[in-house]
């Protein structure tokens, strides 16, 4: 013995395995403790490996291996391979095909553009509302002037200019048309559908992140099965006492499976980064869609309030057009004008907020996409 290499063909591979895979074995043991499925696989693997090694023990003692022993070795290796295939098939997921995400992003940006178009339509309606507001203010101004003129004995037709402005206001009608409300319903429905699609996609991405652990289980399964196969084949080589085979197996056991483990880990990292990147984009679109829906809800509430005030003002104008009822109609319109003006202002602020929120959300999503590495 001394410093001479051992002539026992099983000693060097075993020693190499112990040194090379100490860290990997420790990691594998940790994984087994945390995963019941991996525990089950490990139990089966140990039982089959032990059975084969025990069977081969007799063959080693008589320097021979029976046909039945080789058959058991072959069956064991096939069984282990099948276990590995089973786990891989159960965990198979394709993260690299992201056509669905691409289409979702396209739909998101298209919806946001249509919502911006709706905000432009809302601004046009508000312009008409402000014009109606000016008509009312002019009518009130004329009413004050004509009241004074009547008081000094002007005579003739009373409130001519006041009635003329009221008729213009009545003719202008409701600034919010049927087409506007159809546009609102359309963009609101699109945003709600977008939110639902994004949530479904996010749920699938959450599942894929969970599957990263499953893939790590696959890595542990492959490592354990390969190590067991190498060990069994080393014992077979020793039993057969075939130097060429033993030398070949010794070379095989020197293959750095640890390097393969690092490569697999790098694939896991890319997989996980890709899923997280997609989830980040989805989350950004979800936030933008949530904000857009909230803004649209606020707009609808303000429009409903403004519609009530407009309807009331139109009824007062209709009532005031009869000359005998001008004073009563004008007084009622004075009371409601302040609320009307406030709602117009509030709606204008909300429309501006909605536009800014949409533009900001589009920018955030684009930044998220730009930051994503190419996989």
Q: What local confidence, expressed as pLDDT, does residue 366 receive?
A: 84
Q: CA-to-CA distance for 360 and 370, rounded, in angstroms?
A: 15
Q: Is the pLDDT of residue 53 over 90?
A: no
Contacts for 241-248 with beta carbons within 8 Å, 24 or more apart?
241/9, 241/63, 243/9, 246/9
The Cα 163–Cα 115 span in angstroms is 39
C-alpha 188/C-alpha 182 separation (Å) is: 10
pLDDT tens digits, one per residue of 55-95: 655 444 444 445 455 555 555 555 555 555 555 545 544 43
CATH 1.20.58 range(s) for the chain read 99-209+276-371
Other CB atoms within a 10 A radius of the CB of residue 10 amount to 18
pTM score > 0.85 for this model?
no
Residue 245 has pLDDT above 60, yes or no: no
Question: Is the sign of the CA dihedral 317, 318, 324, 329 positive or negative?
Answer: negative
Helices (H), 152-177: 160-172
Query: What tens digit of pLDDT does each residue of 193-236 get?
Result: 999 999 999 998 888 787 766 666 666 666 666 666 665 665 55
**pLDDT above 70 as % of the chain:** 59
Q: Are 283 and 203 in contact (CB under 8 A)?
A: no
Buried b (16+ CB within 10 A) or exposed e, 128-152: ebeebbebbebbbebbeebbeeeee
The tokens for 297 are: 């809800």
Contacts 24+ apart (CB under 8 A), 4-13: 8/238, 9/234, 9/237, 9/238, 9/241, 9/243, 9/246, 9/249, 9/250, 10/234, 10/235, 10/237, 10/238, 12/250, 13/230, 13/234, 13/249, 13/250, 13/253
Mean of the pLDDT values across residues 29-56? 69
pLDDT value for 1 = 39
Question: 292 pLDDT band (50/70/90 cuts)?
Answer: very high
CB 59 within 8 A of CB 239: yes
- b/e string for 109-127 if b means 16 or more Cβ within 10 A? eebbeebbebbebbeebbe
Exposure class string for 270-285: b at 16+ Cβ within 10 A, else e: ebbebbebbbbbbebb
* Whether 6 contacts 12, CB under 8 Å: yes
- For 172-201, the DSSP string reads H--SS-HHHHHHHHHHHHHHHHHHHHHHHH
**pLDDT exceeding 90 applies to what percent of the chain?**
29
How many secondary structure helices (H) and strands (E) does the chain include?
A: 10, 0
* CATH architecture label of 99-209+276-371: Up-down Bundle (1.20)
Q: Cα(28)–Cα(21) distance, rounded to whole angstroms?
A: 10
pLDDT-derived band at 307 (thresholds 50, 70, 90) equals very high
Among 27-36, 92-101, 295-304, 323-332, top mean pLDDT goes to 295-304
Residue 341 has pLDDT above 50, yes or no: yes
How far is the C-alpha of 169 from the C-alpha of 371, rounded, in Å?
A: 54
> Computed over its alpha carbons, how large is the radius of gyration of the chain?
40
What per-residue confidence (pLDDT) applies to 252? 47
Residue of 354, 325, 372 lying closest to 126 (CA atoms): 354
In the predicted model, is pLDDT for residue 278 greater than 90?
no
């Amino acid at each position: 013995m001394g410093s001479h290499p051992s002539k026992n063909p099983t000693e060097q591979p075993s020693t190499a395995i112990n040194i090379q895979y100490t860290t990997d074995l420790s990691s594998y043991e940790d994984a087994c403790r945390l995963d019941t499925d991996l525990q089950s696989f490990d139990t089966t693997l140990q039982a089959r490996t032990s059975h084969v090694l025990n069977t081969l023990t007799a063959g080693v003692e008589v320097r021979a291996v029976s046909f039945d022993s080789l058959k058991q070795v072959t069956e064991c290796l096939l069984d282990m391979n099948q276990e590995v295939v089973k786990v891989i098939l159960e965990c198979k997921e394709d993260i690299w095909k992201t056509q669905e995400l691409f289409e979702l992003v396209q739909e998101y940006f298209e919806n946001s553009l249509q919502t911006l178009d709706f905000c432009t339509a809302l601004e046009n309606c508000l312009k008409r509302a402000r014009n109606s507001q000016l008509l009312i203010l002019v009518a009130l101004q004329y009413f004050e002037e004509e009241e004074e003129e009547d008081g000094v004995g002007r005579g003739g037709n009373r409130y001519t200019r006041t009635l003329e402005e009221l008729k213009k206001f009545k003719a202008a009608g409701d600034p919010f048309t049927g087409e506007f409300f159809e546009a609102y319903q359309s963009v609101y429905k699109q945003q709600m559908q977008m939110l639902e699609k994004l949530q479904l996609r996010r749920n699938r991405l959450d599942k894929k992140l969970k599957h990263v652990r499953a893939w790590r289980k696959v890595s542990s399964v492959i490592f354990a099965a390969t190590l067991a196969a190498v060990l069994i084949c080393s014992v077979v080589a020793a039993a057969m006492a075939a130097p060429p085979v033993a030398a070949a197996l010794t070379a095989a056991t020197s293959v750095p499976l640890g390097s393969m483990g690092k490569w697999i880990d790098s694939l896991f990292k890319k997989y996980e980064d890709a899923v997280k990147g997609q989830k980040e984009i989805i989350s950004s679109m979800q936030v933008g869609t949530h904000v857009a829906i909230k803004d649209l809800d606020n707009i609808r509430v303000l429009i409903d309030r403004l519609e009530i005030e407009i309807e009331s003002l139109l009824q007062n104008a209709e009532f005031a057009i009869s000359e005998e009822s001008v004073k009563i109609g004008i007084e009622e319109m004075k009371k409601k004008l302040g609320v009307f003006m406030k709602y117009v202002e509030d709606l204008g602020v909300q429309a501006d907020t909605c536009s800014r929120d949409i533009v900001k959300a589009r920018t955030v999503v684009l930044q998220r996409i730009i930051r994503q590495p190419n996989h």
